Structure 1
Amino acid sequence: MSSQYLSKHYVEETRFGLWFLRSRTWQHYVLRVAIDDLRGLFTEPVPQAPVLLDAGCGQGKSFAYLQQVFAPERLIGLDADPHSLDQSQAEAARQGLAIELIGSDCATLQVPDASVDILFCHQTFHHLVEQDRALAEFYRVLKPGGYLLFAESTEAYIDTWVIRWLFRHPMQVQKSAAAYLAMIREQGFEFGPQNVSYPYLWWSRATDFGLLERLGLRKAPPVGQREETLVNCVARKPLASSAP
């Protein structure tokens, strides 16, 4: 691991992984779809002109979508990789967006208490070794009534041979959809079934990227009869509560 990273537990991505995070597939079929889905999981009005923190912003490809969907007054990008932050700055400049960038580990956020309305954590959590600490930090920086937008790939997907070959992840911390949701609830966040989705997208198929289904050789199994590879959740920090 390079000493340039701002987390002692940082797992360095492969060259393919870094390329993929710049690709149209990532932007159009992963990021955009997830943000649209998360927006639809709100059952109460979305905060107006929010302070929005993108925890694990990577190369900044989410910024334009987040600006379009949530119209934040302040948009903050945070990442533990200085090189990614440089790319995020360049992406923000290309989009003409005013972005505040912070170099920080998610387990020790350099963000004040109760200062964020919406925290967007998309395909970041499965990269984190200190997941409990990171989730506690997410809770700390959110205002009472603030929202965690959590979108993750699960162990059923991360632990497939093709993903292990193409990407790098800390395998010892991967979890099922149910385990991630239990973590979020145990931290003190509130959400119901209506605030959770289990997307079954072609790129998240655990074995064949949905090829057999597209060829009509197999039907997609319904929710409850498959091991979920993706979970999205909009969870709220209570208006008056403390973390357990």
Structure 2
Amino acid sequence: MRFLSDSYVEETRFGFWFLRSHTWQHHVLRVAINDLRRLFDQAPPSAPVLLDAGCGQGKSFQYLQQVFAPGRLLGTDADPHSLELSQAEAGRLGLNVELRGSDCAALQFADNSVDILFCHQTFHHLVEQEQALAEFYRVLKPGGYLLFAESTEAYIDTWVIRWLFRHPMHVQKSAEQYLQMLRDQGFEFGAQNVSYPYLWWSRSSDFGLLERFGLRKPPPVGQREETLVNVVARKPLKPAEPSA
């Protein structure tokens, strides 16, 4: 299989299967999209041009359509086979999705052409993260929104995840490091636009089993290493003034 990125890290067979499972669709994608919608300060753009960057097998399309009602729904991925499955998924749903194969570090979309860019559990797969974030910024319109949802190093660097999935381990980051990357790129957001979900599947050691059986209480925010971070970040309407 020839991928559309020289730095593409191919997923395991289990990982590829998991990305079309009910658990992934219902407990991961659906929950993340609903949480991201909650983090908006104001109503999202009406009938937006919405790009799913790293759309995988297209399982996000139905939820993005339900929550944001895009006027145009775009998708891109560096895996040609995933794009074929995305096309089939769009057809099954009766959705018109414009799919283009590309690396997230070299998006095949025009400057200032996207209202909402959805990047869900994709960034930790990317080696060229700074370039990808610059591309997200480039294709977003001024005032456009980046919907960023990621697992952090505290989750990715656990024995069970390293055993079942494949990731470029040298680029994994903490929640705060991801937030700082967004700030450094020029995106704007406040504390009200960020959440740290602590979902059962994101527990770094036991998938929440001890808590489920009442054998341990979940640690409060501020006393745990976050395993997930969701952000609604905005590209400024005007570029920042250069410092004197």
Which interval holds the TM-score relative to the shorter structure?
Answer: over 0.9
Distance in 2 between the 1:60 and 1:54 partners?
Answer: 9
Amino acid of the residue matched to residue 77 of structure 1?
G
Amino acid of the residue matched to residue 38 of structure 1?
L
Structure 1 residue matching 2:116: 3-state secondary structure: strand
- Once the two structures are superposed, the pairs formed by residues 9-48 of structure 1 within 5 Å of their partners are 9-48=7-46
1:80 is displaced (CA, Å) by: 0.2
Distance in 1 between the 2:43 and 2:17 partners?
Answer: 36
| 1:105 matched residue in structure 2 | 103
1:123 aligns with 2:118: no
1:45 is displaced (CA, Å) by: 1.7
1:242 is displaced (CA, Å) by: 5.5
| 1:132 matched residue in structure 2 | 130
Contact 1:139/1:243, CA 8 A, preserved across alignment: no
Aligned mate of 2:83, from 82, 85, 106: 85
Deviation per CA, 1:11-59, whole angstroms, max 9, x where unpaired? Answer: 0000000000010000000000000000000012210000000000000
Aligned mate of 2:65, from 54, 64, 67: 67
1:72 is displaced (CA, Å) by: 0.2
1:124 is displaced (CA, Å) by: 0.1
1:105 is displaced (CA, Å) by: 0.1
Structure 1 residue matching 2:65: 3-state secondary structure: helix
Aligned mate of 1:180, from 178, 181, 187: 178
Structure 2 residue matching 1:169: 3-state secondary structure: coil
Contact 1:5/1:81, CA 8 A, preserved across alignment: yes
Distance in 1 between the 2:41 and 2:217 partners?
Answer: 31
Contact 1:188/1:243, CA 8 A, preserved across alignment: no
Contact 1:52/1:120, CA 8 A, preserved across alignment: yes
TM-score, structure 2 as length reference: 0.98
Displaced runs of 4 or more, over 4 A: none
Amino acid of the residue matched to residue 124 of structure 2?
H
1:240 is displaced (CA, Å) by: 0.6
Structure 2 residue matching 1:113: 3-state secondary structure: coil
Deviation per CA, 1:56-104, whole angstroms, max 9, x where unpaired? Answer: 0000000000000000000001000000000000000000000000100
Distance in 1 between the 2:240 and 2:104 partners?
Answer: 20
Deviation per CA, 1:163-189, whole angstroms, max 9, x where unpaired? Answer: 000000000000000000000011000
Distance in 2 between the 1:115 and 1:40 partners?
Answer: 24
Distance in 1 between the 2:240 and 2:121 partners?
Answer: 26
Amino acid of the residue matched to residue 232 of structure 2?
V
TM-score, structure 1 as length reference: 0.98
Given the superposition, is the C-alpha separation of residues 16 and 138 from structure 1 closer, same or farther in structure 2, using an over 3 Å criterion? Answer: same
| 2:187 matched residue in structure 1 | 189
1:164 aligns with 2:156: no
Distance in 2 between the 1:167 and 1:208 partners?
Answer: 17
Q: Give unpaired runs (5+ residues) of structure 1.
A: none
Q: How many residues align?
A: 242
Deviation per CA, 1:129-174, whole angstroms, max 9, x where unpaired? Answer: 0000000000000000000000000000000000000000000000
Structure 1 residue matching 2:231: 3-state secondary structure: strand
1:219 is displaced (CA, Å) by: 0.5
Given the superposition, is the C-alpha separation of residues 223 and 90 from structure 1 closer, same or farther in structure 2, using an over 3 Å criterion? Answer: same
Structure 1 residue matching 2:70: 3-state secondary structure: coil
| 2:50 matched residue in structure 1 | 52
Distance in 1 between the 2:17 and 2:64 partners?
Answer: 22
